């Protein structure tokens, strides 16, 4: 993977220079930076060192890593990938989807966590990654959206708040988004991971 590195006096100047030199925008990459001191004893100056990782390259890295991982598990796999805003979507097609999904999607969630940890270890960045096996996540999203609106109707009618089951961050986000414009209720997350859940409250 190609890593673009550049130094300069301040972060914004370096980022703008990288964009201009490589014909890209700030939405096309992740970056990390560090401050360095240069010069001698009496001529010290601060310099910013920036490392840039293109999102398309990170997505390709994820695909290749998953392919190696799942092939070693004896699975035959194909992928569809796409970038949307800050999220990297990877849809997996295999010859044994139930094994990849696991009970209640637990294997899929674990696989997603492994990929996130790999990216963090290799590049020290934390992109938002969403793995799906065929359309499992899409079906799960529709189920959660239906649940959210059904419970929200009861909360709006009874004025009694409702605590949903513990969910991961991705599922909680679906609930929050589904009720963003729902009249009569508000949502928040409570608890500590992995026992964090959504609370739907009357306004």
Q: Which residues contact 117 (CB under 8 A, 6 or more apart)?
A: none
Phi, psi of 192 (to 5 degrees): -110, 145
Residue pair 79/63 in contact (Cβ under 8 Å)? The answer is yes
139-202, which class in CATH?
Answer: alpha beta
Identify the residue with better confidence: 67 or 38. 67
Q: Write down the mean pLDDT value for the chain.
A: 90
User: In the block, which residue shows the tokens 């009249």?
Assistant: 183
Whole-angstrom distance, CA of residue 149 vs CA of residue 29: 36
Q: Which CATH number fits domain 56-135: 1.25.40.10, 3.10.20.600, 3.30.300.20, 3.20.20.140?
A: 3.30.300.20
Sketch the domain layout of the chain as residue ranges.
Answer: 4-53, 56-135, 139-202
Q: How confident is the model over 47-62, as pLDDT tens digits?
A: 899 999 999 999 999 9
92-151 confidence digits (pLDDT tens): 999 999 999 998 788 998 999 999 999 999 998 888 898 999 889 888 889 999 999 999
Residue with structure tokens 């044994």? 96
């Amino acid at each position: 993977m190609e890593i673009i590195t550049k130094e300069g006096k301040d972060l914004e100047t370096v980022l703008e220079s990288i964009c201009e030199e490589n014909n890209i925008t700030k939405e096309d990459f992740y970056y990390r930076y560090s401050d360095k001191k240069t010069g001698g004893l009496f001529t010290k100056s601060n310099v910013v060192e920036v490392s840039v990782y293109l999102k398309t390259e990170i997505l390709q890295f994820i695909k290749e890593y998953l392919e190696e991982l799942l092939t070693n598990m004896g699975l035959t796999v194909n992928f569809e990938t796409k970038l949307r805003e800050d999220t990297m979507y990877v849809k997996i097609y295999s010859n044994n989807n139930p094994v990849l999904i696991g009970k209640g999607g637990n294997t899929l969630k674990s696989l997603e966590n492994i990929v996130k940890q790999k990216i963090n270890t290799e590049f020290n960045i934390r992109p938002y990654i969403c793995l799906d096996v065929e359309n499992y996540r899409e079906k799960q999203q529709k189920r959660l959206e239906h649940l959210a609106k059904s419970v929200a109707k009861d909360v709006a009618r009874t004025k009694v708040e409702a605590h949903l089951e513990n969910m991961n961050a991705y599922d909680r986000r679906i609930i929050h988004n589904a009720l963003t414009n729902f009249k009569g209720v508000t949502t928040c997350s409570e608890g500590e991971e992995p026992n964090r859940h959504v609370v739907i409250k009357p306004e």
